[in-house]
Amino acid sequence: MAKLVLCSGSPRRRELLRRMGLEDFEIRVPQTEETCPPGLTPRQAVEHISREKADAGRALCSAEEILITADTMVFLDGARLGKPRDQADALRMLTALQGRCHTVCTGVTVRQGDRALTQSESTEVRFRPASERELRGYIRTGEPMDKAGAYGVQGLGSLLVEGIRGDFYNVMGLPVLRLSRMLAEFGVTFFD
């Protein structure tokens, strides 16, 4: 099997690859700007950025290595919620999300040499109603500050989530079922 390279600094993506049974991979983080042309749908936007990351990661990998890139975004009513700038921004986002549904989209690219495959996954997340006091308490934990949408579903943010329709792992930042199917197309198989 070719060497796998995760082109991401995300500890959650690292953890999810390990949960998939992939232990032998390297981490190389390309420097890219996470921007995309205006007018793209949420899925098109995350796919575009994932491809851009894969293009940048290509310079860090040999033609034989299989690289994996991903980009996750949170969307509420079609508007992107990125990582909060500060605690006030986190409160604004969490207040907007509470009691409502939003969408988490992740674009994933698997690339080996000139061959690349890009796909995306969308998951619907519903937050329970929460008081401002609860939201401020959650923000004080520091957990929301480096996460799109200002929450981490795998941590204390789970206490705000009322339900999920779709891939739970996608909300963490990597749709593992979709990725496993993509990797199979590059000869990386599971359960064999």
* Residues annotated catalytic, as ranges: 71
Residue with tokens 């939201």: 135
- Cα 16 to Cα 153: distance, rounded to the nearest angstrom: 13
The owner of tokens 């996460």 is 147
Instruction: Identify any residues that bridge with 111 across adjacent strands, giving them in sequence order.
Output: 67, 116
C-beta separation of 127 from 108 below 8 A: no
State the alpha helices, DSSP H only, in 123-175.
Answer: 132-140, 168-172
- b/e map of 32-56 (b: 16 or more CB within 10 Å)? beeebeeeeebbebbbbbbbbbbeb
